[in-house]
């Protein structure tokens, strides 16, 4: 029974470290990277003037009346 707490704490500390490292890697490659790629793809083909004209025709803006 001697040093039981120290042995178990060491085991649980290493386990928690590796589980948290795995969760961080899963989030990075499962969520963050696909999100970055989606934003890059959207802004690669994005035309702000075309979007502005579409919103203007829809009557979204008060300062720029529809034509």
Residue 54 lies in a domain: yes
Question: Domain with 61 in it: what CATH number?
Answer: 4.10.93.10
Q: Into how many domains does the chain fold?
A: 1
Residue 9 lies in a domain: no
Residue 20 lies in a domain: no
Q: Hey, is 13 helix, strand or coil?
A: helix
pLDDT at 65: 86
Domain assignment of residue 55, given as a range? 27-66
Q: What is the pLDDT of residues 29-60, one digit of tens each?
A: 999 999 999 999 999 999 999 999 999 999 99
Residue 55 lies in a domain: yes
Instruction: State the Cα–Cα distance between residues 57 and 64, nearest whole angstrom.
Output: 9
Predicted model pTM: 0.66
Indicate the pLDDT class of residue 1, thresholds 50, 70 and 90.
confident
């Amino acid at each position: 029974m001697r040093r039981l707490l120290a042995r178990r704490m060491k085991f649980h500390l290493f386990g928690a470290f590796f589980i948290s490292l795995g969760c961080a890697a899963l989030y990075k490659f499962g969520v963050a990277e696909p999100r970055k790629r989606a934003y890059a793809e959207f802004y690669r083909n994005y035309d702000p003037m075309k979007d502005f004209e579409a919103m203007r025709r829809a009557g979204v803006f008060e300062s720029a009346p529809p034509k």
